[in-house]
A and B are shown apart, each in its own frame.
Chain A
Amino acid sequence: MEAHDLRAIANRMRRRDLHAVYEAGAGHIGGEMSVTDLLTALYFHIMNVNPLEPRDPNRDRMVLSKGHAALALYVVLAEKGFIPKEELSTFLKPHSRLNGHPNCVKVPGVETNTGPLGHGLPVAVGMAKAAKLNGQRWRTFVIVGDGEMQEGSNWEAIMAAAQFELDNLTLIIDHNGLQQGARLAETNNIAPLAPKLNAFGWKVEEIDGHDMDQICKAVSVETTSKGKPKCVIAQTTKGQGISFMSDNVAWHHKVPNHEQFEQAMKELEEAANEYAP
């Protein structure tokens, strides 16, 4: 798919996400806006997944370790056909299978349950190792938040992935520079991340996490490196696409009021016009 089309899809994903957050009265809209372009590129350009066979043994795996951005994943899974689009309006409703963090037992397309931070990467290492043991060519992708890199379990997994030479594993760090309560730099500043991952034996690439061309290239199989796991550090903006949310720590999990919703939707629709055929 062309980058232009991917941008149009990402814009649509953002509007659906915004709508669902407004409707549910909850969500993690800042981080969902920052991760949407990454998810769109993976699901609509890179990954081999089939909603008709969600457990196909040869499917590519994607683990959203920053599970609090579940809604962004649900929106993408609905667009792909894993779940009905109408079901998005049940997000967070009593007995909905779409709760605040993704559940692989209930939601087709979800690979493992995430929510507590620092869980996705170790599981993804196990997936990639399984593919190696099986002699299969499917790939494993895992998206973590940058604040999440403060979890020690991630560094255990980073060591293991290098030791196991998992060149079929791609870690994408959604590096928006903000965590729940403050900037990373003011909390536990693990940046710069690239030299750390390099030192642990990974191939590292830093990109603009909202530039479709850069994302698609960085996660493509052609840019992997034999014997090394790959880390893509995606420089992103929390609240991307909505001016008053952008890079604003207040919008980690704030819910827009009616005026803010209208304003946000207007901005996204204006951007959508750019992608109109």
Chain B
Amino acid sequence: MNMPLDPADLHDCRDAFTSTLEALAAANSDIVAVCNDSVGSSKLGGFREKFPSRLINVGIAEQNMVGVGAGLANGGKLPFVCAASPFLTGRALEQIKADVAYSQANVKLVGISSGMAYGELGPTHHSIEDFAWIRALPGVPVIAPADRIETAAAVRWAADHDGPCFLRLSRVGVPDILPHDHVFELGKSNVLMEGGDITLIANGVLTHRALAAATLLEDRGLSARVLNMACVRPIDAEAIVQAASDTAAILTCEEHTIFGGLGSAVAEVVVDECPVPMKRLGVPGVFAHTASANRLLDDFGMSPEGIANSALELIDRKG
């Protein structure tokens, strides 16, 4: 990616997740963490040290992990069930459906290293279907924070929220984007840049790329609105309708298959409420080739230049 980013300015959102969880757990003894031998990859080492009895490691057994989470919630605990997102959402999908969503269990599902964070490990370890799978279940908010600030805000929100949710976190470094006093609001997107020629909608590790793309467009005399849309469900229909009305073109960017994720959720609103030219960037329905996460995003047309080029095509289309 041809972005002038200093590695020192990039942050792993898992750190914000665990430091926030530890702070919340210090104040609320009902908070427990459940994991599948993923203490390291979920960065739960500090939690285990501070609250050894409240770190429940079920071993490599994701179906049991989610069921145990639902049972803990029934017993009055506030479980954060943490695992690599492909295994949490793929392996235990029926448990998420029946034990958590349908039972309305107060379980916080935390998909770690989602998207293509495990780049070179290949498609078994990619989680580019999780938006679609979890979004199909009633009553489970699907949230992909864009940076460490939004991650911390979403974790605090999740702890307060009475009901299940799915936090989709990455391990790929991202810069700070949102203001430090950001408060997460369910189903509300944030306008990061104002513009009138097109709207770029992104979340997770794509938000900062969309911002960089908007800067490139600016250099060409075009102004793009950039919406950070962490919530794939509930989707911020109001902001989408407004964007369609104001900019008449919408480009979505996501670290997910283009079938069923953020782009699909946005398109559903656009088709129903405000038809305008639109394009969905994402993984185009293939199992990814071998490459790092960032390289894969570039290869799938989601470098800042790639996003800007798609935006230009879309602006042309609206005539």
Contacts and interface: CB of A to CB of B under 8 A. Distances in A.
Q: Do A and B come from one complex?
A: yes
A176 to B, nearest CB: 24
B51 to A, nearest CB: 10
Contact of A126 (B54, B63, B70, B98): B70
A131 interface: yes
B56 interface: yes
A61 interface: yes
Interface stretch (B74-82, B236-244, B282-290): B74-82
B53 A119 contact: no
Interface stretch (B99-107, B116-124, B144-152, B310-318): B99-107
A9 interface: no
Given A113-B99, A113-B103, A130 B74 contact: yes
A126 B102 contact: no
Given A112-B74, A156-B58, A160-B59, A129 B68 contact: yes
A134 to B, nearest CB: 6
Contact of A115 (B58, B63, B98): B98
Interface string B94-115: 1100110011110000000000
Interface in A245-264: none
Contacts of A105: 102-104
B61 A127 contact: no
A122 B67 contact: yes
B67 A113 contact: no
B274 interface: no
A122 B71 contact: yes
A133 B68 contact: no
Which of B56, B71, B74, B103 has the largest count of A CB atoms less than 10 A from its CB?
Answer: B71
Contacts of A125: 64, 67-68, 71
What does DSSP make chain B's interface, helix, strand, loop or mixed? helix
B256 to A, nearest CB: 26
Given A112-B105, A160-B58, A127 B74 contact: yes
A127 B72 contact: yes
Interface string A18-32: 000000000000000
Nearest to A124: B71
Nearest to A63: B71
B59 A123 contact: no
* Residue from A114, A122, A133, A140 whose CB has the most chain B CB atoms within 10 Å: A122
A111 to B, nearest CB: 6
A112 B63 contact: no
B99 A123 contact: yes
B75 A160 contact: no
B212 interface: no
B32 interface: yes
CB-based closest 3 A-B pairs? A126-B71, A130-B75, A122-B67
Given A119-B67, A127-B71, A152-B63, 17 more contacts: A113-B102, A123-B68, A123-B74, A125-B64, A125-B71, A126-B67, A126-B68, A126-B70, A126-B72, A127-B72, A129-B68, A129-B72, A130-B76, A140-B71, A156-B61, A159-B61, A160-B68
27 contacts: A57-B76, A61-B75, A103-B102, A104-B104, A113-B103, A118-B63, A119-B98, A119-B99, A121-B67, A122-B63, A122-B64, A122-B67, A124-B71, A125-B71, A126-B67, A126-B71, A129-B75, A130-B74, A130-B75, A133-B32, A133-B53, A153-B64, A153-B67, A157-B68, A160-B59, A160-B61, A163-B59
Interface of A: 57, 61, 103-105, 111-116, 118-119, 121-131, 133-134, 140, 152-153, 156-157, 159-160, 163-164
